[in-house]
Chain A
Amino acid sequence: MKEDKRRQKTFRNEQNNTENKNYQNNAKPSVSKEVARKESSWNVVGKWMPAIWAILFSIVAFYVLVGLNSDYLFAAQEHSLWFNDDAFWCMLANKPARVMLWIGCYLTQFFYTPWVGSLLLIIIWLLTFFVTLKAFNIKGWWSIVALLPIAALLCSVIDLGYWLYYCKVDGYWFAESIGVLASVSAVWGYRFALKKNSWISLGVLIVWAVVGYVLFGWYGLISTASMAVVAWREDKKAALWASAAAVLLIIAIPIICYNFFAQMRIEDAWIVGFPLFQMDKYTSWIVELPFILIGIFFLALPFFNIEKANKYTLVIANIICIAAIGLGIYWDYTYSGDFRWRYLIICILLFIPIAIRNVEKANKFVLVIINVACIAAIGYGIYCAHFDDYNYHGELRMYRAVDESRWGDALEIMVDNPGHPTREMVLFKNLALTNQGTIGANMFKYDNQSIIPAAFDSIHVHMVQTNAPLLYYYYGRCNFATRWCIENSVEYGFTVDIYKILTRCALISGEPDVARKYINILKKTTFYKKWAEQYEPFVNDTSLLRKSDEFKNMIEYHDHFKSVLDGDEGLVELYLLNYFSNTQNKDSELLNETTLAFALISKDIQRFWPRFFLYATLHRGEPMPKHYQEAAFLYGNLEHEVDISTMPFDRDIVDRYASFQQLSQSLIAQGMTVDQVGEAMKASYGDTFWWFYFFCRDIKSY
């Protein structure tokens, strides 16, 4: 049977060949024209394919970056830093690739306006795409494969998630793209030199290996290796020297440079500049995967040289790529403890083109399939890589709103959140309500049930590393805010966000000299000069602080807490909860209300009553906020230690409590568990302190 099929296939091929020859030699003019026209249009389309892919990719990338990730990109530039001074250069670690990181930091600033930064990034990617086509002589319909490296770069930008807070690569968002662009440009230059003279090309390889490593770290090494592969594809005579030189240089240069760059381990000398995502002793291979793939592309793309392709070299490419993919998946599985099947699919789809052994003889159908498969793979890869957790994006938007004291916006984001928020969001919500003066009336209107952040791999998100400095600042605990600003900067680098908080804390703490230092640094950034300048008057005249609306609440907190030795043990929420719910202050209405609100959150009856009575005294003649009434009515009925019979509760509170009790009793009588009762009552009573008290349990802070 198989033999018959093979014979039929051979016969068909012979027939086709004969037909082709006939077309070439004896075909009728009209048929020949038709075929030529079809060929011509196919080739014309093929010629335009790079432009088509570039346009399509730009649109998709722009939509993904600006449409879906503006909040994240703005946060990215706030978690980065560049300023125009030698001191900034000194702040970067003394190791190779510092130039790449410096440029990365400079360009990351442009995410201040997300679409501008995105546009710049896309321009770099498009340049990379077109240079890749030139460097590896990829043409026409095959140009789709040159999209793969830049698609990997896009994935690397949007897949970070909570690594945003823990990423130690300065200027990460641009630095890697700059490294890739420089590398493909070098390969292009090498190939150009190779055509002219093999000795010149050898010189180019040697110079690039040194310069590339010093400026771009491992990208210099991987592109040097790529040059050697190109040499094998283009000029076998030159290849031997090129390979020998490449191997020698790749081994030797990092060792030599190790002696000149003091802040690098010898073990890391070959991967310096490769973005490592490590926390404690765990490595996140998932976010490193795009760069592993880019490394593979550098070695595999020379095999796509349209003029030089043959089946043997493509088989080699296959083996390299599949081995690398297998390794990536193995790492993924081993270290994250969860089989990421989606990456397996992506990897398989990405390398379909390589499975086609003969590039030149691939027919149109195959090429179309390859293009469709690549597009599907790229699209699915981007979809998978995109960290679209709604809480993550909600946190970023809330953080910005809180940072800018846009309390109403912060609360709107909380309302719009499609599921349970994180603790960070709940804390921001309470902070916003406090600053609006409505925490007693509204704090339980919002969802107070919370979940831990959706970190997708080994990272453990701690609030002290994400929002603690801002929270502490707004609660006037400037020493603690400063502490975590510095602790986080020591670990993960100084950022614009850190300097902004440090500046304000220094002002409130009465340290204008150090505030001036931070202001001067921010004034040297490209986009925070104005922000810094608006705080300069406070440095020159500290008395203005007390007249400022912006600092009013923080100063009031700061003035009224005791100066003692203390520590938060790395748990910001528990610290604030313990501190405020244990504090009592009759001199500050703001502090009193905060202590009362935190006493409600702590569900501590003993702490509640004195703060409640103090609140009533301080706000004599004013209506008692709803939640305080709810708590007083509940506690009064629960323990009967305080006589509430004379308290003027709102009629609505009394009636609602009665119905709350009635409903809960009846549901329990039906045999429901506490959780089931809570769920059943949430729609009607989820906005009350009573529901929070009985059913919002097991809150996990982090």
Chain B
Amino acid sequence: MHTHTLNSFFTPLARIACLVAIATCMICCTSHPDVPQSYSNSQEEPNIYPDYKDVTIPSNIAPLNFSVRNASEVVARFTYGAKTTTFGEGHKVVIDQDEWKEMLNQCKGKSIKVEVFAKQGNEWTAYKPFNINVAEEEIDPYISYRLIFPSYVAYEMLSISQRNLTNFDETEIYNNLIVSYEADGQCVNCHSYQNYHTNNMQFHMRQGHGGTMIVRNNVPYKIDMKTDSTISAGVYPSWHPTLPIIAYSTNKTGQSFHTRDIAKIEVQDTQSDVIIYDVDKNEIRTVSAIPNEMENFPFWSPDGKYLYYGSAYFEYKDTVAHETEMIQRWDSVQYSIYRRSFDAKSMKFGEPEMVYDAAADSVSATFPRISPDGRYLLVGIGATGCFHVWHPDADLYLMDLKTKKIRKLENVNSDRAESYHSWSSNGRWIIFISRRDDNNYSRLYIAYFDKQGKAHKAFELPQADPDFYSYFMKSYNIPEFMVEPVQITPQQFAQEAKKDGKKVQYVSSGNSAEVGMPKDDSEHTIN
């Protein structure tokens, strides 16, 4: 059953009253307001939210509903080919889904012209028209993300949800209230799929009933990844594109708080390594644990032959506790991007190869993500640190792996944080989170990435109610594309979550990288 379906069914008085008026609403949705007969022309662009002016969208995306700020009434005229249609309800433009689909079908590779007429006071104004460009390439029909209050330490009511991008349906994959709360409460994080498919996936649960939920061939079960030989259980995951192997970072993570900086929070690792987990053998091995290096954010290349990761060189002076020293020297931690070759037969990794020496550029590069064609590396870059979602200066950068040249990704960045980026399975779409709306609440943005390697203006994930983001108090993070929805229900996951996790075995990989590997079994929580 769909959450939104339930929502609309079990809504309170106002909504119950609305049920009576559903027919009226439907008529409203399918009716088309007239363009005002008299209006003044303005050369200004309309102040619409979300900003969908001149964006490029996939031909299977849900309607781009928007509202016009400071307007009491609005009519938007959509012209596609020889046809025109109008929409408008109060200050919102809510587009009928069927008509929208028809528009997109007719405009693949073309544009839809949008003219906005807004009423302020008693005056109507026609604003400068804009286009919505429809790309020929479709987008993967599903995404999943974590919904979380922009929390600091406490967590409650957080979920991993999936959204059908072709409409507005959103369902929960799992939430932390279904198993436990209060002192036994869970933190849920870091979902990952194998090659965009959901039959093999995983996510973590921390604290109460903690463990990692593995789904192998659509069968869920819980594992306990804590061992005496690793820093922590697995944290940032990445499924090998074809093999039942998941790469993880293991982290000792802490948080501290900026007294005045609007970044507010600094999430820092004091230790981190990279490991792999063999799902079928239930074994973990160390990939990289070099002394004075903090390896993090592993990500497989699409061919599975390389494991990319970020790593920061940090030598403790040991005059104070490591946590304290990290807080004191927080602005001197900079991650560069490395990769190691992987031989699937021997399960051996090669020596680290520098891919992008971010530290040499005095910046910190995180979350390496390789495009499905293997040509581009997309990274988040900020001045320092590993958790760029809290860094307003963080932007997305693109490296052409052929030329090794890196550039700030055009058209997608803002003066606020961009992070948690991900490629669609066809490589034509990039989804990422941005705090450009208000610097505090992360929202999902999608950008078209054309065959020439150029990104186009990003658009905010459309919602049925265009004002939704204005009142929604949760942040989105870790958006991941999927070609199909997760079939397992939250209740099924809950049943498994309550069981004890299967203990994983640590196997020495014999890599030189294990030398000097630190050991620490403390608990970690990543927001």
Contact = CB atoms under 8 A, between A and B. Distances in A.
Interface of A: 83-91, 93-94, 98-99, 102-103, 106, 214-215, 258-266, 278-281, 477-480, 482-483, 486-491, 494, 509-511, 513-514, 516-517, 520-521, 524, 558, 561-567
11 contacts: A90-B7, A94-B172, A98-B10, A98-B12, A260-B1, A261-B6, A279-B182, A479-B264, A490-B155, A563-B259, A565-B258
B360 interface: no
A278 B440 CA distance: 30
Instruction: Indicate the member of B1, B3, B471 with the most A CB atoms within 10 Å.
Output: B471
Given A517-B438, A517-B470, A487 B327 contact: no
A240 to B, nearest CB: 32
B11 A265 contact: no
B3 A262 contact: yes
Interface stretch (B115-123, B146-154, B343-351): B146-154
Contacts of A494: 473
B437 A513 contact: yes
Interface in B463-520: 465, 467-468, 470-473, 489-491, 494
A509 B154 CA distance: 23
Given A263-B175, A563-B261, A486 B465 contact: no
Contact of A511 (B11, B438, B467): B438
A565 B266 contact: yes
Interface string B50-63: 00000000000000
A261 B467 CA distance: 25
B260 interface: yes
B178 A563 contact: no
B233 to A, nearest CB: 23
A133 B159 CA distance: 45
B259 A480 contact: yes
Given A90-B472, A490-B149, A558-B260, 15 more contacts: A86-B468, A93-B177, A94-B172, A260-B1, A264-B178, A279-B182, A479-B257, A483-B257, A486-B149, A486-B152, A509-B260, A521-B471, A563-B259, A565-B258, A565-B330
B128 interface: no
B12 A103 contact: yes
A357 B183 CA distance: 46
B256 A260 contact: no
Interface in B4-50: 6-7, 10-15
B154 A491 contact: yes
A214 B7 CA distance: 12
Contact of B11 (A89, A510, A516): A89
B18 to A, nearest CB: 11
Contact of B259 (A261, A281, A490, A562): A562
B179 interface: yes
Interface in B310-361: 327-328, 330
Nearest to B177: A263
Interface in B416-467: 437-441, 465, 467
Contacts of B156: 490-491
A102 B7 CA distance: 13
Contacts of A214: 10
Contact of A259 (B7, B330, B470, B491): B491
Nearest to B327: A565
A514 B439 contact: yes
A83 B471 CA distance: 10
B444 to A, nearest CB: 16
Given A265-B178, A490-B151, A477 B183 contact: no
Given A87-B472, A514-B438, A265 B465 contact: no
Nearest to B174: A262
A519 to B, nearest CB: 10
B438 A513 contact: yes
Given A487-B151, A489-B149, A262 B470 contact: no
A561 B260 contact: yes
A521 B266 CA distance: 28
Given A264-B178, A511-B438, A562-B260, A486 B470 contact: no
B71 to A, nearest CB: 15
A259 B438 contact: no
A85 B467 contact: yes
B15 A89 contact: yes
A106 B11 CA distance: 14
Contacts, number: 158
A238 B179 CA distance: 40
Interface in B165-189: 172, 175, 177-183
Interface of B: 1, 3, 6-7, 10-15, 149-157, 159, 172, 175, 177-183, 256-262, 264, 266, 327-328, 330, 437-441, 465, 467-468, 470-473, 489-491, 494
Contacts of A91: 473
Contacts of A513: 437-439
Contacts of B155: 490
Contacts of A478: 260
A265 B439 CA distance: 34
B182 A278 contact: yes
Given A103-B12, A103-B13, A258-B491, A483 B439 contact: no
Nearest to A482: B264
Contacts of A83: 471
Contacts of B468: 86-87
Contacts of A215: 10
A479 B153 contact: no
B440 A565 contact: no
B152 A487 contact: yes
A130 to B, nearest CB: 22
Contacts of B472: 87, 90
A87 B257 contact: no
B467 to A, nearest CB: 7
Given A482-B264, A490-B149, A564-B259, A511 B440 contact: yes
A262 B257 contact: no
Contact of A262 (B14, B471, B490): B490
B150 A565 contact: no
Nearest to B465: A86
Instruction: Indicate the member of B150, B259, B264, B438 with the most A CB atoms within 10 Å.
Output: B259
A89 B7 contact: yes
Contacts of A561: 259-260
A262 B181 CA distance: 14
Contacts of B179: 265
A541 to B, nearest CB: 15
Given A490-B156, A520-B471, A511 B439 contact: yes
Nearest to B153: A487
Nearest to A564: B259
A491 B177 CA distance: 12
Nearest to B326: A565
Contacts of B175: 262-263
B268 to A, nearest CB: 9
A94 B491 CA distance: 14
Nearest to B264: A479
Nearest to A515: B438
B258 A479 contact: yes
Instruction: Indicate the member of A83, A260, A278, A565 with the most B CB atoms within 10 Å.
Output: A565
Contacts of A259: 1, 489, 491
B6 A265 contact: no
Given A86-B465, A494-B473, A483 B266 contact: no
Contacts of B11: 89, 99
Contacts of A84: 14
B258 A563 contact: yes
A479 B440 contact: no
A490 B157 contact: yes
A89 B3 CA distance: 12
A94 B6 contact: yes
A516 B441 CA distance: 13
B438 A94 contact: no
A102 B11 CA distance: 9
A567 B6 contact: no
B258 A99 contact: no
A87 B471 contact: yes
